[in-house]
A and B are shown apart, each in its own frame.
Chain A
Amino acid sequence: MMAMRKVILNLVLISVCAALALSQSRGGNWPTLGGDAQGSGWEGADARISKEKVKDLQLLFKLKLESQSKGLRPLMPPIILGRLISYRGFRELAFVGSNSDIVYAIDADLGTIFWQKHLEYSTREPQATSSTPDCPGGMTAMPTMPVPGINGPRGAAAPQRGGAPAQAGSFIAGTASVYAISSDGRLHRLNTSTGDDMVQPVQVIPANSKISSLRMVNGVIYAVTSPACNLTQNAVWAIDLTGDVPKASSYALNDGELGGSPGTVIGSDGTIYVQTSRRLLAFSAGTLALSGYFNLEDAGADDRRDVPAPLAFQFKDRQLVAAAGKDGRIYLLDAASFGGNHSTPLDRTMPLAVSAGLSTWQDTDNTRWILAPVWGRNGAAPSGSISAFKVEEQSGKVVLTPAWVSRDMASPLTPVVASSVVFAVSAGEFTRERAKNGTRATLFALDATTGKELYSSRNLVGAPASLAGITVSNGRVYFSTLDGTFYAFGIYLEH
């Protein structure tokens, strides 16, 4: 009997180890902007990336994709499906949205296009033909896949709202899929193997709106429209897919301008956070009932500049929220009290001209870090930099402690983190409306605990970066440039 138990135990151990090995080598997902519901930008441990290996990073492939030369985000950062068992084989796919209303599925291992789908403009409202920096037109919403991780670690099964199983509506029943909203405001559910619409697309947001990146949690897709393109109200949207047909509801954001919003982030308790130029707002999941707000200092100048996305993260037993205000400061808030009197944060930094969004990660000592892209002089970095802060408790208070400032960068994008390595893109020099002539992007890898430069792509990238963001997943870092080129850097995997 003992021998039998030993055999069974060994079998169980083998199964567990096999499952772990599988999860380590066959790839995880990066299903939305920032990689998770909280928008952390943190992949966690990546089996192919380490501080030691990252010096061997190389340009794995680049692809010129169809896009329109308008706006500063012609291509969006990819969402990653680490393992699709398709009728054409096992695939790791990077889904890239283009402002030409095209979704590309790129084979991340081979650097080839697996499929591409043009999302036809099909609504009564004529397609916008004009383009401005604020309202560039075309598809602006970064696609999404269902995002796990609410009330659990990345990859855990997401609980259903209200504790009850979600209804299997036609937009969520069956196999995994990619969700995209085309420029006509229609929601598409795309087959990951073919790119085909799995159901008839449904109008959910007015056509020609500027829609933020999408984030789908528990059968609901959240997004933000701003800044009133085609007279669409500034609003946060919840598109509920759990019923027979998608049902869109919204909450108007009249309190402060949004500029271009990167969208929502979602706390571990399901709370939806959206930032305007003057406020950080909290909403109940699904219903979009306002549950709290915090008044940010309004810098007053350049009010329509893009608003960064906030961050939600766990610090010990507390849920914290960080936001970069228009005054350039980072505000740290307790989600439970949300600023108390709506204007007193746990802590705030000195003005830093933080642009783009924040990201966060936690090291093996459980130290929580916040990373901020700074546009403009910051200490010894004259053009811009990544600034790292530790979230610490000092004398019973939670504070942000400056840790390091990176090398000089021009207009850095929101960084991402994997295996204690920060990946940052110096996007190039920009004016308010466009990139300066001759400027180009550079990818850097930095030691996440010291800021030391570990890798530079030097002159491998030929154009300034799209300001939409960076993705890191399964040993590869992705971003794109304004000329519509999609770049993948990583550690080479022999074919």
Chain B
Amino acid sequence: MRTLIALMAIIAVCAIAIGADWPTDGGNPQRTNWQKDETILKTDNVGNLKILWKLKFDNAPRQMHTLLPPLIIGQVRTATGPKQIALETGVSDNLYAIDVDKGEILWTKHFEYPPPARNGGATDPLCPGGMTATPLIGAENTAGVRPVYVLAGNGQLHFINLATGEEMAAPVQFGWPNGKSYALNMWGSVLFTTTSQGCAGNPNQMWAIDINDPLKKVMTFSPKSGGLWGRTGAAIDSSGVAWAPTGDGTYDLPTQRYGNGLIGARIEGNELKLKDWYIPSNWEFLYKKDLDMQVTPAIFDYKGRELMVVGSKECRVYLLDPKSAGGADHQTPVYRTQQLCNEEFNFAGTGIWGGMASWEDAKGTRWVLVPFWGPSHSDFKPPVSYGPVKRGAIVALKVETVNGKIQLTPAWMSQDMDHGEPPVVANGVVYAYGSGEDTTQAYADRGLNDSSPLRIKASTHATLFAFDAETGKTLFSSGDQITSFVHFGGLSIANGRVYLGTFDSTLYCFGLPGK
């Protein structure tokens, strides 16, 4: 027993010394948003979170976009010794490497290119142009360098040395200028991204490139839908299938249309091939109401079986088996929840947006965390909640087997928050934020008028929360310490620090002073 305890202590010390990473949006290729290696922050101290530092960057917003979730590497070899580095990405083609211990910028990089001929609309939040894909930090190479894969706004993929900011190789084309790519993901040597909304006339599809391919062939698969706009791009299962929601669109097999669903594609030879898909049985209704499937799935293990969860603006959660998503008819999930929110079936300002999270507690219980915007559904009554939810919340579901069938059982619903955004979870604590974003796209007097200036003006400020992951109890709230809102940003967490970038190009680092 003593030996075991000693061994665990050594492992813990090593973890601290080596440092946990957050090398990709969502924390890992499965997009679980679960930081397994956190040891500093826990339920009994997270209430003492403070702003350790905040940095305001010279990154100009584009429409409502500003900062993407930072990537974290716990220990990077640099010329001045090992450092923990956070890599922040600004939509205006900027990279900022930060020494997180000091809260200082180590290096910056800006990608220059002639302005693309095609852009989004002048005030259109959907098509900001610029660098919209969260980069990805690869494993250390034989030279001890951590490569950063960065997709600039002109569609060029850059290979950057995380320690120095220098280009490691000539960039290659991996997309179209202002094509609105989403977070990069990686399986083996293959990078994936997705594009959406036909920005600047570009196609909506899944993209892949093998960085070891001398020809750097760009491989694509198009579901012929309105856009693959899962916030963190595609999630990748254990067999290398990349899963991405297809957004708006119709489902029609003869014409190979897979709108309002989820597609899984993988590399076969040097092609990106459709492997499987799931389309909700009410896809026509979803399409008619513009309740896009636009949530990056989270993929996880449940008692030795791989499962994934996905959702939509309709505010249901679908539990799927990646080995046969939707079964033989591609429309039968393992389980489908009731509507958690969006009772009115509104296309804007309500529903599940972006991504989800999943973690497993010490007892082996598998949890799914679901963010949503807007009021909770009047028929949704979780066993634990914390007052009425009018603006958004986080819902925790347990994956359980009941009478031989796997289901998602509601466990708790958090307190009300102003637009519940995709959470991250670490060491028994759920971190989430209300974005404070105004998400109005249509008005009573004008109808559809999705305008960045209007929405920016009506937005308030983000609020970071920490919840007990097993009960949903609020352990921390940043109150009004954050002064700007967040649009399509995200949380990152590693080594006792929680990061959030805001519209005013400020990166906040929360943590425990002295830890």
Contact = CB atoms under 8 A, between A and B. Distances in A.
A191 B285 contact: no
Interface residues of A, number: 29
Interface stretch (A88-96, A138-146, A325-333): A88-96
| Centre residue among B257, B285, B289 by max chain A CB count within 10 A | B289
B344 interface: yes
B345 interface: yes
A58 to B, nearest CB: 16
A27 B288 contact: yes
Contacts of A194: 444
Contacts of B284: 25, 493-494
B444 A191 contact: yes
B255 A17 contact: yes
Given A25-B284, A25-B288, A89 B347 contact: yes
Contacts of B194: none
Given A14-B203, A25-B250, A494-B282, A175 B224 contact: no
Nearest to A22: B250
B363 interface: no
Contacts of A494: 281-282, 284-285
Interface in A345-391: none
A11 B179 CA distance: 14
A88 B445 contact: no
B338 to A, nearest CB: 12
Nearest to A26: B288
Interface in A84-118: 84-90, 92, 109-110
A457 interface: no
A494 B446 CA distance: 30
A174 B345 CA distance: 26
B285 A89 contact: no
Given A25-B250, A87-B440, A89-B344, A175 B446 contact: yes
B287 interface: yes
A193 B444 CA distance: 6
B48 interface: no
Nearest to B198: A15
B447 A86 contact: yes
Contacts of A90: 288-290, 345, 347
B448 A109 contact: no
A287 B224 CA distance: 49
Interface string A468-495: 0000000000000000000000000111
Nearest to A474: B288
A164 interface: no
A19 to B, nearest CB: 12
Contact of B287 (A25, A88, A174): A25
B346 interface: yes
Interface in B364-391: none
Given A90-B290, A193-B447, A85 B442 contact: yes
B115 interface: no
A83 B224 CA distance: 22
Contacts of B257: 21
Interface string A1-38: 00000000001001001100100011100000000000
A495 B282 contact: yes
A14 B446 CA distance: 30
Given A193-B447, A495-B282, A89 B345 contact: yes
A488 to B, nearest CB: 15
A113 B226 CA distance: 30
Contacts of B201: 11
| Centre residue among A11, A27, A88, A110 by max chain B CB count within 10 A | A88
Contacts of A87: 440, 442-444, 447
Contacts of A84: 447
B272 to A, nearest CB: 17
Contacts of A88: 344, 346
Nearest to B313: A89
Interface string B180-205: 00000000000000000000010100
Contacts of B345: 89-90, 110
B289 A109 contact: yes
Interface in A222-240: none
A18 B290 CA distance: 14
A457 B444 CA distance: 38
Contacts of A21: 249-250, 252, 257
Nearest to A24: B250
B177 to A, nearest CB: 14
B448 A85 contact: yes
A83 B287 CA distance: 12
A84 B288 CA distance: 10
A171 to B, nearest CB: 16
B289 A493 contact: no
A112 to B, nearest CB: 10
B447 A109 contact: no
A109 B289 CA distance: 10
Nearest to A494: B282
Contact of A495 (B203, B226, B285, B344): B285
A493 B285 CA distance: 7
B178 to A, nearest CB: 15
Contacts of B346: 88-89
Nearest to B339: A495
Interface in A172-221: 174-176, 191, 193-194, 196
A176 to B, nearest CB: 8
Contacts of A176: 447
Contact of A26 (B255, B287, B447): B287
Contacts of B287: 25-26
B503 to A, nearest CB: 23
| Centre residue among B257, B285, B288 by max chain A CB count within 10 A | B288
Contacts of A27: 288
Contacts of A174: 446
A196 B442 CA distance: 16
Given A26-B287, A90-B347, A11 B203 contact: yes
A85 B444 CA distance: 10
A426 B171 CA distance: 72
Interface in B445-470: 445-448
Contacts of A26: 287-288
Nearest to B282: A494
Contacts of B224: 14, 17-18
Interface in B81-95: none
B289 A89 contact: yes
B447 A175 contact: yes
Contacts of A193: 442, 444-445, 447
A262 B345 CA distance: 37
A17 B474 CA distance: 49
Nearest to A14: B224
A298 to B, nearest CB: 49
Interface in B218-252: 224, 226, 249-250, 252
Interface string B315-337: 00000000000000000000000
Contact of B442 (A83, A86, A191): A86
B206 to A, nearest CB: 15
Contacts of B440: 87
Contacts of A110: 345
A186 B474 CA distance: 57
| Centre residue among B226, B345, B348 by max chain A CB count within 10 A | B345
A26 B290 CA distance: 10
A32 B196 CA distance: 38
Contact of A85 (B203, B285, B447): B447
Given A17-B255, A193-B447, A109 B288 contact: yes
The 3 closest A-B pairs by CB, nearest first: A89-B346, A494-B282, A85-B448
5 contacts: A85-B347, A87-B443, A88-B344, A494-B282, A495-B285
Given A27-B288, A193-B445, 18 more contacts: A14-B203, A17-B224, A25-B284, A25-B288, A85-B442, A85-B448, A87-B447, A89-B347, A90-B289, A90-B347, A110-B345, A174-B446, A175-B445, A175-B446, A194-B444, A493-B284, A493-B288, A494-B284
